[in-house]
Amino acid sequence: MLKVNNIDVFYGNIHALKDVSLEVNEGEIVTLIGANGAGKSTLLKTLSGLLKPKKGEVLYQSQQIGGKAAQTIVKNGISHVPEGRRVFSTMSVEENLELGAYLRHDRDGVKKDMANVYDLFPILGERRKQPSGTLSGGEQQMLAMGRALMAKPKLLLLDEPSMGLAPLIVKRIFEIIKMVNEQGTTVLLVEQNANMALSIANRAYVIETGKIVLSGTAKELQESEQVKAAYLGGL
Amino acid sequence: MEWIQQLVNGISLGSIYALIALGYTMVYGIIKLINFAHGDVFMLGAFIGFYAIARWDIGFFPALIISMVLCAIIGVIIERVAYKRLRNATRIAALITAIGVSLLIEYTVIFFRGASPEAYPEVLPKTYIDIFGVSISSISILILAVTVVLMILLQFIVHKTKIGKAMRAVSLDPDAARLMGINVDNTISATFAIGSALAGAAGVIFGVYYTRIEPLMGVLPGLKAFIAAVFGGIGSIPGAMVGGLSLGVVETVVSALGFSLWRDAAAFVILILILILKPSGIFGKNTREKV
Ligand SMILES: Nc1ncnc2c1ncn2[C@@H]1O[C@H](COP(=O)(O)OP(=O)(O)O)[C@@H](O)[C@H]1O
Ligand SMILES: [Mg+2]
C-alpha cells in the first residue's frame, strides 16, 4: 500500500532522514519506534506532504506522492494525527471533526461518520459544543484521532498517541487503534512507547538518528536483545 | 439631546473604523502581518465608489458592491504579489514591504489623477429623522445599518461556512490545517479578499458621509483603525468591531468637549494606554505568542 524508497529529508542543512526505506501493507499495523529526535515525526510529515523529500520516492498505491501537496495526499486517503494532537483549540469538538471532513462533499456520509466517531469516543459526544482546548490530554488525543478518521482514510499515520497520557488512557487509545485497524484502516504508528506499540503491531521498524537500523515482525523485535536493551528496558 | 447627536456621529465614524479594523485583524490573525497597505485599500474603495457614482451614474448600493468586489480583487493581488513570498521571512521584512505597498498605492493614484481632493456626489437623499426629539440624518442610520449587516454577514461567514472554518483553522495552526486538506494559500487569499472588501465598503461609506476624498485619506483612518484593532485585541473579530466603535465615540466626545485639536491625539493616547495596561487588548488572548 505504501512504499518508501531511499528518501532523504533535510531541514535546511540538517540531514534528518538518511536513505530511509519502509513498507506498509494493506491491513497492517506497522510501528516505527525510536528515541526522541530520531526522525520519526519527520518521516510522517514527509508522508503527509508537510515536508518534501530531497531524494527517493514515496509510493502510495503505486503512485508517487513524495513532495505532493498535503491536500492531495489527504484526498488520496492518508490522514496524519500529528504529535501533540494539534487540535484547533478555540474551536468546538464538533467543528474540529467537521474540519477533518473538509475535503468531503457527501453530507450524509459525514454525518454518519461523525456519529461513528461519537460511538467510538462517547466523551467527545458529550463535549461536542465545548472548545477543544478545554479537553484533557487524553480527550484531545481522541479528538485528533476522530478528526483524522472523519477524512475516511485508508492509511492512518499516528505520531506518538501515548505521549503524556496516563497508562490507563494509553491502554484505551491502543485498544481503539486496534479496533480502527480491524475495521479496515491500515495504520502506521510512531511511538517511543515500544512495549505498547509492539504489542499491537504486525511489523516494526527501529529508527536511530535518521536511519532505519532494524526491522522485522513485532514478535521478532520484542525478542531482539538490541531492542530489549535500548527500548524495552525498565518497562 | 446634543449628546445623543454626538453619540450618533461617533458611532458613524466608529463604524468606518470598525470596518477597516476588521481587515487588519483578520489578516493579522491568519499571517501575523500588519498590513499597512490596508488603509490605502480603503482609499481605493472610496475612489472606486466615487468614479462609479460620478461617471457611471449609478446608485449607492451598486457602487458599494462594485467597490467591495474590486477591493477584494486588489487585496488578493497585493497578497499574491507582495506578501506571499514573504511568509517565511522575518516580520520586519514583511512590515517594510507593507509600508512599501502602501506608498506605491498612494503615489500611483496621485500619479494618475493628481493629489487634489474630490467632492463625493450626493447619492443619498439628505433627510432628517426625528427620534425621541433628536434629529438624526438618514445617512447616519443607513451607514449604521450597512455596517451592522456587513458585520452579521462576516460573523456568518467566519462561523458557519466552510471557508470561515478554514480561516479560523489556518489562523490557529497552519500545518494542522494542511493535514485537514485545507489549501492554506487560498484560505489566506480569501481572508485578504474579505478584509479588503470591508475596507472598500468603508471607503464608499466615508465618501458619502464626509463628502471629501483624496489619495492620502487612508493614512490616518488606517492608522486609527489599526489602533482600534489593537485596542480590541489584534486577531479578534469582535474586538475590532468594539474597538472601532469605541474609538469613533471617544474621538467625537473629545471634539464635542471642545478639545477638537486633541481629537487625533486621543487615538494615540489610547494606544499607549493599552500597550501599557493590557497589550493583548480587551478581547485578546492573554497567551504569549507561539514561536
Ligand atoms: N523544524 C525543524 N527545524 C530543524 N530541525 C528540526 C526540525 N524538526 C526536527 N528537526 C530535527 O530533526 C531531527 C528529527 O526530528 P523529529 O523527526 O522531530 O524526531 P522524533 O519525532 O523522532 O522525535 C532532530 O534532530 C530534530 O532536532
Ligand atoms: Mg516526534
Domains delineated in chain A: 2-85+153-232 (3.40.50.300)
The answer to the question of residue B272 being in a domain is: yes
User: pLDDT (tens digit, 9 = 90+) per residue, B125-137?
Assistant: 888 888 777 888 8
Among the partner-chain residues B165, B172, B179, the one whose CB lies closest to the CB of A74 is B179
Is A151 touching B (CB cutoff 8 A)? yes
Predicted confidence at residue B137, as pLDDT, reads 86
Predicted confidence at residue B1, as pLDDT, reads 64
Question: What is the A176 CA–ligand 2 centroid distance (Å)?
Answer: 21
Q: How far is CA B150 from CA A44, A69, B60, B200, B218, in A?
A: 42, 34, 15, 12, 20
Question: pTM score, two decimals?
Answer: 0.91
Predicted confidence at residue B284, as pLDDT, reads 77
Ion ligand 2 neighbours (CB, 5 A) are A 41, 83
The answer to the question of residue B48 being in a domain is: yes
The answer to the question of residue B147 being in a domain is: yes
A11-35 mean pLDDT: 96
Q: How many CB atoms lie within 10 A of CB B259?
A: 12
Judged by CB atoms closer than 8 Å, whether chains meet at A50 and B173 is answered as no
Predicted confidence at residue B81, as pLDDT, reads 96
Predicted confidence at residue A233, as pLDDT, reads 66
Nearest to A84 by CA among B165, B290, B158: B290
The response to whether residue A122 sits with its C-beta less than 6 Å from ligand 1 reads no
Contact B31, B83 (CB under 8 A): yes
The answer to the question of residue B282 being in a domain is: no
The answer to the question of residue B239 being in a domain is: yes
Q: How many CB atoms lie within 10 A of CB A57?
A: 15
Predicted confidence at residue A235, as pLDDT, reads 46
The answer to the question of residue B283 being in a domain is: no
Which residues does residue A20 pair with via DSSP β-bridges, in sequence order? A7
Q: Is the dihedral of CA A191, A197, A198, A200 positive or negative?
A: negative
B9-21 mean pLDDT: 94
Residue A67 scores a pLDDT above 80: yes
Among the partner-chain residues B166, B168, B175, the one whose CB lies closest to the CB of A102 is B166
Predicted confidence at residue A42, as pLDDT, reads 98
Q: Which three cell numbers stand for residue A159?
A: 505520531
> What's the domain count of chain B?
1
Nearest to A46 by CA among A74, A61, A65: A65
Cα of A94 to nearest chain B Cα, Å: 12
The answer to the question of residue B33 being in a domain is: yes
Give the integer Cα–Cα distance in Å for A56 and A66. 8
The percent of residues in chain A predicted with pLDDT above 90, rounded, is: 94
Predicted confidence at residue A175, as pLDDT, reads 95
Residue B102 scores a pLDDT above 50: yes
User: pLDDT (tens digit, 9 = 90+) per residue, B43-80?
Assistant: 999 999 999 999 998 999 999 999 999 999 999 999 99
Average pLDDT across chain B, whole number = 91
Predicted confidence at residue B178, as pLDDT, reads 97
Residue A159 scores a pLDDT above 70: yes
Q: Which domain holds residue B177?
A: 2-277
The answer to the question of residue B141 being in a domain is: yes
The response to whether residue A47 sits with its C-beta less than 6 Å from ligand 1 reads no
Residues of B in contact with A75 (CB under 8 A): 181
Residue A227 scores a pLDDT above 90: no
Cα of B147 to nearest chain A Cα, Å: 26
Question: What is the A80 CA–ligand 2 centroid distance (Å)?
Answer: 13
**Nearest chain B residue to A84, by CA:** B176
Identify the CATH number of the domain in which residue B109 sits: 1.10.3470
Question: Which pairs from A225-228 meet CB under 8 Å and 24+ separation?
Answer: A227/A33, A227/A194
